[in-house]
């Protein structure tokens, strides 16, 4: 059956056209928030995972590094400069070669190649270290020059690498080497002023090549004067064929050492030099019987005790007997001598008789007052302790009077003798500039001003008098005074035949001494120039003159006319 739809009215058609009511859905804003939170959480988990992976990778690297790198640190040190600010020692960055034995592929091939580039390499020791499976770090050579480091790098040896370190450098090489001292492989001071810096100034542990920010250590040394002094000493060693030589220049009042050298010289950067006994510092680390320069002490003692004056006559015609030995003068005068003549002619008998008159206790007391029997130290290290006689009686009093039987370091004698010319006050030697801030050490009176004037008169006469033993030390314009000494060298079985120490102690200008100097020649050889003799007046005195002539223009001293340099 066909059913026909009933026609809709316009109002019905209008109602039918309207959409059905929609089912409620979530707000669009809430959906976005859900998506954002989910994404953020995902990113957070990704970041954590990435960080964990990064930390794991770094931890592996750190473990690896810890296995091959040394734990110990290096040290940065303050610079050392001379009294005028010229650089003497500083830290520089260097490359040091190391190996990780576990990563070395062919130890024999590597050692063979390195030995060709690194002289002195201990191949056996390196081979032993590289074969030790328990080691992950081995030093091969520290402190390579840039050129050598690059050459080694170019070999491309597996298991070898470089580490940057601070290493001490000395721009002037061996100049003042004994004074400066040296450092070890870790840049720690072990000798000389370098050791003093560790103990009294300070150094800084560093894990990188960071230079020190400490103020430079300023020495009293003047490098221009030092260079001149060392050059003259080197000439003297060749001229007189000596085993070694030494000299120093010191401020007569402050004790500041302006120059000090012991030859053969040492290179502070060469450990072998510093440990070589032939190159030891004879000014400070050895004690010697210095001979007739000790008569300065004997005569100063007699004058200061007022037991004699410069004009007092002493009968020196009869030699003195000490056991089976006879004490006599090298060139007997054959007549009594005044105290002045005893000094100028360097009479052993005269000096001995003055000491005997004073007595052994007085001699001991005077030498103690002059600082010649006690321990001494300087910034360059401990001075060798004086060797005094075990039994000190008449015989020892006689021999000590003219410089035998008591051994002291030359530096210690120079300090004691400086008090005899500077007005009578004790002197404490130093390698540092004494500033107003640090002040000077306390001083004591050794002899009276009057006695000091008499000693200056004698020293000047010994150089200007035609019969003076020091006349070859005279230098025009500098008013030099001094005393010679020729001492036999003591050995294990008595004094050595023919071996002497030739010395000259000087001060200038003698009217008001600014400086004292001491020159020593160890075992000079006879020559045609010296008439076949090795006396100090023929060897050490002219060397002292050469030094003063060379360094005089560098010092703030007036010449004869009073004009300044």
> What would the two tokens of residue 21 be?
């009511």
- Name the β-bridge partners of 522: 244, 501
Separation between Cα atoms, residue 207 and residue 70, nearest integer Å = 10
Half-sphere exposure of 235 (CA within 13 A, CB side): 15
Residues sharing a CB contact under 8 Å with residue 555, sequence separation 6 or more, in sequence order? 225, 258, 514, 515, 565
> What would the two tokens of residue 424 be?
């009578």
Give yes or no for a contact between 473 and 479, defined as CB atoms under 8 angstroms apart. no
From residue 473, alpha-carbon distances to 505, 536, 537, 547, 550 in Å are 10, 10, 8, 10, 13
Q: Tell me the three state secondary structure of residue 451.
A: helix
Beta strand extents in 109-215 (DSSP E only) = 138-144, 160-169, 182-183, 189-191, 204-206
Q: How many CB atoms lie within 10 A of CB 148?
A: 15
φ, ψ of residue 272 in degrees (nearest 5): -65, -35
Residues sharing a CB contact under 8 Å with residue 402, sequence separation 6 or more, in sequence order? 291, 292, 294, 295, 298, 348, 351, 352
Give yes or no for a contact between 347 and 333, defined as CB atoms under 8 angstroms apart. yes
Token pair 């050298």 is at which residue? 261
Sign of CA dihedral 538, 227, 423, 385: negative
Give the residue numbers annotated as catalytic, written as ranges: 292
Q: 190-199: long-range contacts (C-beta < 8 A, 24 or more apart)?
A: 191/274, 191/381, 192/268, 192/380, 192/381, 193/80, 193/217, 193/219, 193/379, 193/380, 193/431, 194/77, 194/80, 194/89, 194/168, 194/268, 195/381, 196/379, 196/380, 196/381, 197/77, 197/78, 197/80
Residue 159 region by backbone torsions, left for phi larger than 0, else alpha for psi between -120 and 50, else beta: left
Nearest to 547 by CA among 504, 512, 500, 510: 504
Nearest to 413 by CA among 336, 307, 519: 519
Q: Could you give the angle at the alpha carbon of 248 between the alpha carbons of 383 and 532, nearest 5°?
A: 110
Separation between Cα atoms, residue 457 and residue 339, nearest integer Å = 12
From residue 458, alpha-carbon distances to 113, 256, 516 in Å are 68, 25, 15
């Amino acid at each position: 059956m066909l059913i026909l739809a009933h026609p809709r009215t316009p109002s019905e058609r209008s109602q039918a056209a309207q959409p059905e009511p929609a089912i409620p859905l979530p707000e669009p804003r809430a959906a976005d928030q859900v998506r954002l939170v989910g994404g953020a959480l995902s990113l957070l988990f990704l970041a954590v995972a990435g960080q964990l992976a990064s930390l794991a990778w770094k931890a592996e690297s750190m473990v690896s590094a810890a296995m091959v790198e040394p734990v110990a640190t290096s040290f940065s040190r303050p610079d050392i400069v001379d009294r005028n600010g010229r650089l003497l020692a500083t830290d520089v960055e260097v490359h040091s070669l190391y190996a990780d034995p576990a990563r070395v592929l062919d130890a024999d091939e590597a050692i063979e190649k390195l030995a060709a580039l690194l002289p002195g390499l201990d191949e056996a020791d390196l081979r032993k270290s590289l074969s030790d499976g328990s080691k992950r770090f081995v030093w091969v050579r520290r402190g390579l020059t840039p050129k050598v480091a690059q050459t080694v790098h170019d070999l491309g040896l597996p298991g070898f690498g470089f580490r940057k370190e601070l290493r001490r450098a000395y721009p002037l090489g061996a100049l003042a080497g004994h004074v400066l001292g040296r450092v070890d492989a870790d840049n720690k001071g072990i000798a000389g002023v370098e050791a003093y810096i560790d103990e009294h100034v300070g150094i800084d542990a560093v894990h990188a090549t960071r230079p020190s920010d400490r103020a430079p250590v300023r020495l009293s040394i003047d490098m221009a004067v030092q260079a001149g002094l060392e050059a003259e000493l080197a000439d003297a060693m060749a001229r007189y064929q000596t085993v070694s030589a030494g000299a120093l220049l010191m401020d007569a009042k402050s004790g500041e050492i302006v120059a000090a050298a012991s030859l053969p010289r040492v290179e502070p950067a060469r450990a072998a030099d510093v440990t070589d006994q032939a190159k030891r510092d004879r000014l400070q680390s050895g004690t010697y019987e210095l001979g007739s320069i000790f008569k300065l002490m004997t005569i100063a003692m007699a004058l200061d005790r007022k037991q004699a004056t410069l004009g007092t006559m002493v009968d020196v015609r009869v030699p003195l007997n000490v056991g089976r030995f006879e004490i006599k003068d090298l060139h007997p005068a054959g007549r009594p001598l005044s105290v002045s003549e005893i000094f100028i002619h360097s009479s052993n008998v005269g000096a001995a008789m003055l000491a005997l008159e004073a007595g052994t206790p007085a001699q001991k007391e005077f030498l103690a007052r002059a600082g010649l029997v006690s321990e001494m130290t300087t910034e360059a290290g401990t001075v060798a302790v004086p060797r005094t006689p075990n039994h000190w009686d008449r015989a020892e009093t006689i021999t000590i009077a003219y410089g035998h039987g008591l051994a002291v370091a030359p530096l210690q004698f120079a300090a004691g003798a400086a008090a005899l010319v500077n007005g009578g006050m004790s002197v404490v030697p130093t390698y540092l500039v004494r500033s107003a801030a640090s002040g000077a050490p306390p001083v004591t009176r050794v002899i009276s001003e009057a006695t000091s004037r008499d000693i200056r008169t004698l020293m000047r006469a010994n150089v200007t008098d035609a019969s003076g033993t020091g006349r070859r030390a005279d230098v025009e314009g500098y008013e030099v005074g001094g005393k010679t000494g020729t001492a036999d060298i003591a050995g294990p079985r008595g004094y050595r035949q023919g071996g002497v120490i030739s010395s000259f102690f000087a001060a200038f200008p003698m009217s008001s001494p600014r400086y004292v100097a001491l020159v020593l020649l160890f075992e000079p050889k006879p020559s045609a120039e010296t008439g076949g003799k090795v006396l100090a007046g023929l060897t050490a005195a002219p060397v002292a003159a050469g030094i003063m002539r060379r360094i005089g223009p560098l010092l703030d001293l007036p010449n004869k006319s009073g004009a300044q340099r």
